[in-house]
Amino acid sequence: MPGRETGTPEVRSRRGRRRDLGGRPFPAIALEATGGPQEILQELRAWAEREAEDAIEWYLADKRRKRLGSRIVSVLTILLAVGGTLIPLASVISGGPPQGWGYVLLALAAGCKGFDHFFGMSSGWMRDITAAHALRGALNDFRMAWAAEHLRAAADGALDPAALERRLALLTSLVEAVQRQVESETAEWLSDFRATAQQLQDNVVLPPGERA
């Protein structure tokens, strides 16, 4: 019947743990052609919308996790940098011996900054929110176009082959939009990861005996 569940969400497991972004099973009714055109269209529409909503939910959840990590690392970086600057100044003002802890704190601050850069927390959550907004826009556009087609069919009084083709085209455009967005964000993440890994490798200082 229209609107029934045809698969299980892949974004979260039954215990609520976050999982990799996956796909839902394709509606069996569309493969077996056991229903009428209206019923098949409704099943395909529900499947396509849930695919888009799953992707949006995944990116928003990933954004929240990375944004929290980015903020924690940023706060630590600031505190360590301030502490590393104030400790030597306090030693000079008090007339005491130089304190090496200032350099340690500054090194830790640089390490926090490098950690954020290497693992892409700050850039990652911004990519996530961009992808989620793009997917939400595509889903809203699809729903508006689908509603317009529904009103047109209601006025005509029947679902003719041309109307059926238009609705199938809308479904195809939504599925392809979700796929393009996921592939684009994944390619961007992979490019950033490779560039960061190469930069880290280039910055590694080898002992003189191990250099080429």
Per-residue DSSP letter, 12: B
For residue 94, count other CB atoms closer than 10 A to its CB: 9
**Whether 106 contacts 80, CB under 8 Å:** yes
Give Cβ neighbours of residue 42 (< 8 Å, ≥ 6 apart). Answer: 2, 3
Beta bridge partners of residue 12, listed in sequence order: 18
Rg (CA), the chain: 26
Sequential DSSP letters for 149-181: HHHHHHHHTS--HHHHHHHHHHHHHHHHHHHHH
pTM over 0.85: no
**In this predicted model, what pLDDT tens digit does every residue of 167-186 receive, in sequence order?**
999 999 999 999 999 999 98
pLDDT, average across residues 108-122 = 86
- Amino acid identity, residue 102? G
Question: Residue 208 carries which DSSP code?
Answer: G
What's the distance, CA 42 to chain centroid? 28
Task: Determine the average pLDDT of the residues in 25-45.
Answer: 77
Q: Which amino acid is at 134?
A: A
Compare 187 and 17 and report the one with higher pLDDT: 187
Are 23 and 10 in contact by the 8 Å Cβ rule? The answer is yes
Q: Indicate if the pLDDT at residue 199 is higher than 80.
A: no
Averaged over 56-68, what is the pLDDT?
91
DSSP state of 120: T
18 pairs with which residues across the strands?
12
